[in-house]
Each structure stands twice: as structure tokens, then as C-alpha cells.
Amino acid sequence: MTFNKPVTNTTTDEITHRTVWGLAAPIMLSNISVPMVGAVDTAVMGHLDGPEYIGAVALGALVFSFLYWGFGFLRMGTTGFVARAHGRGDSREVHDTLLRAMLLGLAFGSLVVIFKVPLDRLAFGILAGSDAVESLASQYVSIRIFSAPATLCIYAMTGALIGLQDTRGALYLQLVLNLTNVALDFLFVPVLELGVTGVAMASLIAEYSAVVFGIYLLKDQLRAHPFDWSRLSDTKALGVLMRANFDIFIRTLCLVFSFSYFTALGARFGDAILAANAVLMTFVNITAYALDGFAHAVEALGGSAFGAGRVERFKNAVKRSTQWAGLTAIIAVLGYWLFGDQLIALLTNQATVQNDAAEYLPWLVVAPIISVWSFQLDGIFIGTSQTAQMRNAMLLSTIGYLLILQFTVPAFGNHGLWLGLMLFMVLRAITLGAYYPKILVSLEHRGE
């Protein structure tokens, strides 16, 4: 059976709605499955006695946001380099980029495991919670941290699949990972009654299972050329890759810090508010991952067009994907407005948490239409590897976000926290949008 069937490049500059959906739909399904695992984690914890179980998984997951999302460059950087090499028809560079990224993932993941104790202490020194929450969260982290090499290797594999426009392969990889995780959640928690430990073990086993499947999906690319250490260790190629990856690392670290700071401030309002925010953020993440399907589509289509120097095809990729992203965001707004209370009830049966989540539900309702523009711009900049600009825009946005919170949280409490988060998304769109014309100018000069 052949799983990966990349979307082939066409000679026309027109980007059809079908082309966008052919790439976006598998990624949307793939991406939605990621926070759905978080939703299942929250749900199985939310039906245990006490809000501390939800809070523990929320804080534990944040630790891995620092550790894993900080290495998101392994996915995003790989996508940009592979997409441009694919646009040029350079299979050797695709092969080398994939192997470099996988080897980096294994190396960085191993370092995370080696330094697990100081990383654990640092994380819980930053993220405050009650004693009960921190104790349970520490159990979660001490087990799941051993999945780091597998997780980072999967990032590289996913980036390569998207760059090759093989979004169905990326979907299959994510489904193997997440369905395994969900199945083991239900086995380890309700059946075997392992609690937080069971949730962590489910993630650990699922990650390594997905690595094996990912190697199978990418076997043609991995075997396309002989292993050549001299090429993989070429200092010039590694320098270009690491500079781009470092820019994305700084950008992602700022993003993770911003969301983690949101949760840490929310924890100061008590376990019930922490749990309510975690429930709402589960749906924010689901929406973000869904909308990212169009961002990934513009990464692949725009990056390939950029690599081939095709100006009109690049513009059409941006236009078509953004049209559908905006429409999908509007649909999400309507869905949360009409069914928000019912969705909250799916994740927790605790009345206090439900009531608190309902109070802050309006922020979830408006989040998709506020956030979608920054997601799309991220995709454009990743696909074209404009990483320095991404870094600078995120640094400016994060500084603005922290300043905003100094005024909104004291004035409006948890509502002020949500207001600050929404304004952060606006700042991201504004700062990236200011850089966007330079990409067009660069591409048009290349086409002359």
C-alpha cells in the first residue's frame, strides 16, 4: 500500500480552491487531532475528583510547550527548506535536509532527557500552582520527558511531508500518533486507574510508535540518495539551516512563553479559574490547529512558488488560502457562539469549572477571527524562510503583550488576561504584515 502521494507541481500559476483544500484538509484533520488528544486528556482528568487533576495536566503540558514547542523550528524550518528544494526539483537537497533535521531532532531530544532534572526544576519554578497540582504535574513530566527524541524527530518528518506537499502523509503520521495516544488514555486512566501517570505513559508510547511509522512514510526520500556524511555535515549548509532554525527558535520561544505566562497568571486566580482557562484554551488550540491547515497550505504552495521564482503563483497561493482561512474562522466563531456551553460540558462535569468557563466564553467566541491573520502570515514567512523577520515581529509583539498585561490584569482580572492575549494576536498580525511587502519585492526582483 502506498500512503504518501505528493501533490505535484503544475505549470500554471493559477491556484484553485481544490488545490488549497487538497493540501489544507488533511492538515486540518491532522492538526485538529493534536488538541483533541489534549481534550481527551482534559476530559479523563475532568471526571476525576477535584480540579487539581485538570490543572496538573495543564501545567505538565506547559512544561512540554517550553521543551518541545521551543524546538518547533525542526518542523517549520524543514518545511521551508524542503518546499523550496521541491520547487526547484532538487531531490538531493530534500534528502539531505530531511536527514539533517531528523539527526538534529534526535540530538536535541537526547539533551532534553539528559538535563531532565534541572529543566523540571526550572519549569516548576516559573509555573506556579497549588501543592496538589504541582505534585501531580511533576509525576506527569518525569515520565513523558523520555519521549523528547521521538517528538523532535516527528517534527522533522512532519515538516518534510508538508514541504513535499504530501499532506495526506502528514495526516496519517499524526493520526497514528494521536489515535494511539487516545486509545491508551482510555486504557490507562478509566480502566487501569493510573491517573496522571497513565496520561503520561500514553503519550510516551504513542510518540515512539509514530516515529516508526514516519520512517515508513518517508522511506522513498530516505533511500533516494546514499548516506553521505560529508554532505550532511557541510558547514555552509548547516550554517544556513542553523541560522534559520535559531530565528524560528527565538520566535517560537516567545510564543510559548506568552501562552505559558497566560496560564501562569491564570493560576494565581485559583485552581478553578486555572481549570476553566485550560478548558477554554483547549478549544482555542483546536481552532488554531484547524486554521493552521491553510497556513500549512500556503507554506507548501507559497514556498514552492518562491523557490521556483513564480510571482503570480505565489500571490495566488496567498490569496486563495487566506480567503478560506477567513471563512473558516467565521464558521468557528458561530460554532462557539451557538454551542460553547455544550462544548464546555463535554470536558468537565464540575459545576464550578463550568460556571467560570461560561463567564469567559465570549473570549473564545472572538478568538478565531482575531487570530487567523497572524496564522496565515506565519505560514507565508515559514514557506519563504523569512525567519529573521518572523523573529523580529514576534519579539516586538511579545514585548507589547507583556506591557499590555501590566494594565489589563490588575484592572480586569482574568478578563484582562484574555484581553491581553487577544491584543497579542493583533500585534502579531500587524508586525508580520509590515514585513510582507518586502517578500513580494524580493520575489519580483528575482523574476525580472
pLDDT score of 165 more than 50:
yes
Tell me how far CA of residue 211 lies from CA of 27, 40, 61, 205, 224, in angstroms: 18, 22, 20, 10, 19
Residue 37 CA to residue 286 CA, distance in Å, equals 10
In 3D, which of 287, 230, 252, 276 has the Cα closest to residue 391?
252
Q: Quickly tell me which residue has 501517570 as its cell.
A: 197
List, for residues 93-102, the tens digit of each pLDDT value: 777 788 888 8
Residue 257 has a pLDDT of 84
pLDDT band at 14 (very low <50, low <70, confident <90, very high): confident
pLDDT digits 0-9 by tens, 347-378: 777 888 888 889 999 999 999 999 999 999 99
Q: Is the pLDDT of residue 2 over 50?
A: no
Alpha helix positions (H), 164-234: 167-186, 195-217, 219-223, 229-232
pLDDT, residue 155, reads 86
How confident is the model at residue 124, as a pLDDT?
61
Residue 237: closest CA among 99, 139, 337, 361: 99
C-alpha–C-alpha distance, residues 401 and 425, integer Å:
9
* C-alpha Rg value of the chain to the nearest Å: 21
Residue with the bigger pLDDT between 399 and 354: it is: 399
- pLDDT exceeds cutoff 60 at 164: yes
Q: Is residue 5 domain-resident?
A: no
Distance, CA of 297 to CA of 17 (rounded, Å): 11
CB–CB of 24/104 below 8 Å?
no
Distance CA 348, CA 43 (A): 6
State the Cα–Cα distance between residues 22 and 172, nearest whole angstrom.
Answer: 15
Q: Number of structural domains, the chain?
A: 1
Top-confidence range, 290-304, 338-352, 409-423: 409-423
**Which residues lie below 8 Å from residue 445, measured CB to CB, with a gap of 6+?**
none
Span of 28-42, 313-327, 393-407 with lowest mean pLDDT: 28-42
Question: Which one, of 258, 257, 255, 270, lies nearest residue 413 by Cα?
Answer: 270
Q: pLDDT of 313-331, one tens digit each?
A: 888 888 999 999 999 999 9
More confident residue, 155 or 134: 155
Is 162 within the bounds of a domain?
Answer: yes
Sign of the four-CA dihedral 297, 299, 304, 305: positive
Question: Is position 86 within any domain?
Answer: yes
**For residues 130 and 35, which has the higher predicted lDDT (pLDDT)?**
130
pTM: 0.71
Quick check: is 6 in a domain?
Answer: no
Of the ranges 63-67, 215-219, 402-406, the best mean pLDDT one: 402-406
Q: What is the pLDDT of residue 170?
A: 84
Beta carbons of 276 and 360 less than 8 angstroms apart: yes
Does some domain include residue 1? Answer: no
So what's the pLDDT on residue 25? 81
Q: What is the mean pLDDT of residues 242-260?
A: 81
**Most confident stretch, 15-19, 119-123, 257-261:** 257-261
Residue 400 lies in a domain: yes
* Predicted pLDDT at 19: 81
- pLDDT, residue 212, reads 93
Between 163 and 381, whose confidence is greater? Answer: 381
Measured torsion, CA atoms of residues 351, 352, 358, 361, in degrees rounded to the nearest 10: -130
Is 240 contained in some domain?
Answer: yes
What is the percent of the chain where pLDDT is above 90? 21
Binned at pLDDT 50, 70 and 90, residue 398 comes out as very high
Q: CA–CA separation, 387 vs 244, rounded Å?
A: 6
Banded pLDDT at 8 (limits 50, 70, 90):
very low
Rounded to an integer, what distance in angstroms lies between the CA atom of residue 76 and that of residue 383?
8
199 assigned to some structural domain: yes
pLDDT tens-digit map of 409-433:
999 999 999 999 999 999 999 999 9
- Domain with 431, as residue range(s), is 17-447
pLDDT tens across 113-126, in order? 887 777 666 666 55
Look at residue 37 in the predicted model and tell me its pLDDT.
60
CA atoms within 13 A on the CB side of 445: 6
Asked whether residue 76 carries a pLDDT value surpassing 70, the answer given is: yes
Mean predicted confidence (pLDDT) in 229-238: 67
